Chain A
Amino acid sequence: MASKVIHAFYNDDDVLMHAVKKVKAAKHHIEEVYCPFPVHGLDKAMGLAPTRIAITSFLYGCVGLSVAILMMNFIMIEDWPQDIGGKPSFSYLENMPAFVPIMFELTVFFAAHLMVITFYLRSRLWPFKEAENPDVRTTDDHFLMEIAIHGNEEELKDLLSDTGAVEINITEK
């Protein structure tokens, strides 16, 4: 089913913020906003849910710490507890200070890398992905707000031109 969307262009982030608030107040659903740079507070104005990526990162860190402990406990204590320079290999705890640098680094490694990969997966980013940019100017100096049309074309157009849009296009999607 072909559906129509309206694209409103802005050339200032303050104007965009006011427009977003106005459109939200008029109870229209904003499909997407395209910006050349992060606009502080835009997610709040749009009412987007807070990210949970920090929580995933914490859990990945716990995984990394477990991997480090299990790995070194097996290698250094259980599998072949050699006397290396007099270090006590009788139990993990006795030799733990020597393992801490690895425990720390693996925690950070897992937390950082798995979080980045999670970010790529959730935002659907990969090397040969086709860009989803509706207008090239949005990567340079224009902001674009996209709203779906449900038979209220004229009303939306009026509302958006009131908000200081520099250009309003209607396109098939």
Chain B
Amino acid sequence: MYTFSNRLKIASFILMAVGVLGIGIGFMAAPSTVEEAKAIVASHDDGHGDAHAVAKGHGEEQAHGDAHDASHDEHLLHQLQNKPWAALYVAAFFFMMIALGVLAFYAIQRAAQAGWSPLLFRVMEGITAYLVPGGIIVFVILALSVAHMNHLFVWMDPEVVAHDHLLQGKSGYLNPVFFLIRAAIFLGGWILYREYSRKLSIAQDESNDDSNFKLNFRISAAFLVFYLISESIMSWDWIMSVDPHWFSTLFGWYIFASMFVSGITVIAMVTIYLKSRGYLKDVNDSHIHDLAKFMFGISIFWTYLWFSQFMLIWYSNIPEEVTYYVTRIADFNLPFFGMIAMNFVFPLLLLMNSDFKRVNWFVVMAGVVILAGHYLDIFNAIMPATVGDQWYIGIPEIGSILFFAGLFIFVVFTALTKAPLQPKRNPFIEESKHFHY
């Protein structure tokens, strides 16, 4: 049995406390009036303000200019008010997506009857425990958006929809009630599978036949079907709909690749941590090697999808699609291209060598970069539509990351103490113990 070390527990509480502080500061600093918003921007960026003063000088366009400036200021206010919300949402989604990615990986390992991974099942089950609180937090944020507490999703604003024919055309799908019902069904399905599969997995330890294992195999295969559909729709709902004028067909797989590689990375990191603490005695370098191979391969898969989406839109350059990338390249240049280096070039060169994949600290370092890269990935997906050029990785963003990191560590390692770290009666456990590559 694993015991949650006190130092790690205290560290997770500190992370949560500092995170709450950062989130609080973010909400306090958000402006509530147009004047405050203008003052914030002016104090941050004098050059921008000067340019505006000059532009206003055109006499004949004065009347039009004022009206335009007023709507521009309103827009600016909404962007600044969105900042702490978007920071919270990106971090909440990022950590939930890690747990969901692990759940998908776990279901695949069960459905594929993999011989190497049963030793890691309890680690994966521990990580997916975060799906319950993490998923509920994401759902609450979505519900608050529906309740007009923020402007993360413009299509939820009836004022906006009233003046937007495109959104009216999509309102059959993008309407708040249906949106929340879908979210509830998806989260309910994922959590149901997670809890039931965990129950069967633990029951298998004490049973005297393989019926639990076989049932788990069957529900895992069924879950994967549900997961593929729900994950795709989830990515349209929760990520793509912040840009409701834009659409892309491979977006669901793209988000899937991001969550899958983050999830596998976290499995590797938690496994290495537990092993370094003297638990998981039967896990050897070959298990780490296999996880690192998955990190390497799925990083490249993510890049393939990222590039396929980018290149098709860049090549054809159709105005209604390409604005998505125009704003990202103009306003998010460094995070947008920086994440390609972090999510592709870095893992490609570091994890190509077979020997490096067995060096634990090497895998952890590569994992840290991959996780930071995929945080940036979600950041780049949400921020341009919600805060636009007012983005900054400051106190609200880092505070949100720290809070959810602390919560994640606390939930995951608490769940790990609930059951023995090594499954007892899994039919593949002997093969897994002797796995070597």
Contacts and interface: CB of A to CB of B under 8 A. Distances in A.
Interface of A: 54, 58, 86, 97-98, 100
B315 A97 contact: yes
A100 B317 contact: no
B273 to A, nearest CB: 30
A97 B362 CA distance: 31
A97 B317 contact: no
Nearest to B307: A100
A129 B254 CA distance: 50
Given A97-B310, A97-B315, 10 more contacts: A54-B354, A58-B352, A86-B317, A97-B307, A97-B311, A97-B314, A98-B311, A98-B315, A100-B307, A100-B311
Contacts of B315: 97-98
A35 B188 CA distance: 56
B108 to A, nearest CB: 26
Contacts of A54: 354
Nearest to B349: A58
Interface size class of B (residues with CB under 8 A): under 10
A97 B340 CA distance: 13
Nearest to B314: A97
Contacts of B310: 97
A54 B357 CA distance: 15
Nearest to B316: A85
Interface residues of chain B: helix, strand, loop or mixed (majority): helix
Interface in B281-339: 307, 310-311, 314-315, 317
Interface residues of chain A: helix, strand, loop or mixed (majority): helix
8 contacts: A58-B352, A97-B307, A97-B310, A97-B314, A97-B315, A98-B311, A98-B315, A100-B307
B140 to A, nearest CB: 40
A105 to B, nearest CB: 13
B115 to A, nearest CB: 15
Contacts of B354: 54
A98 B310 CA distance: 11
A86 B352 CA distance: 38
A14 to B, nearest CB: 17
Contacts of A58: 352
A27 to B, nearest CB: 28
A85 B404 CA distance: 48
B131 to A, nearest CB: 36
Contacts of B307: 97, 100
A95 to B, nearest CB: 10
A58 B310 CA distance: 27
A41 to B, nearest CB: 10
Which 7 residue pairs spanning A and B have beta carbons closest together? A97-B311, A97-B314, A98-B315, A100-B307, A100-B311, A97-B315, A97-B310
Contacts of A86: 317
A52 to B, nearest CB: 12
Interface centre among A54, A58, A86, A97, by most chain B C-beta atoms within 10 angstroms, is A97
A58 B352 CA distance: 9
A62 to B, nearest CB: 11
B215 to A, nearest CB: 35
Nearest to A97: B311
A97 B354 CA distance: 30
Contacts of A100: 307, 311
A18 to B, nearest CB: 19
A57 to B, nearest CB: 10
A131 B113 CA distance: 43
Contacts of B317: 86
A147 B54 CA distance: 91
A35 B315 CA distance: 53
A36 B373 CA distance: 48
Contacts of B314: 97
A100 B303 CA distance: 12
Nearest to A55: B353
A59 B323 CA distance: 39
A97 B316 CA distance: 12
A100 B317 CA distance: 17
Nearest to A86: B317
A86 B315 CA distance: 10
B426 to A, nearest CB: 25
Interface in B134-189: none
Nearest to A101: B311
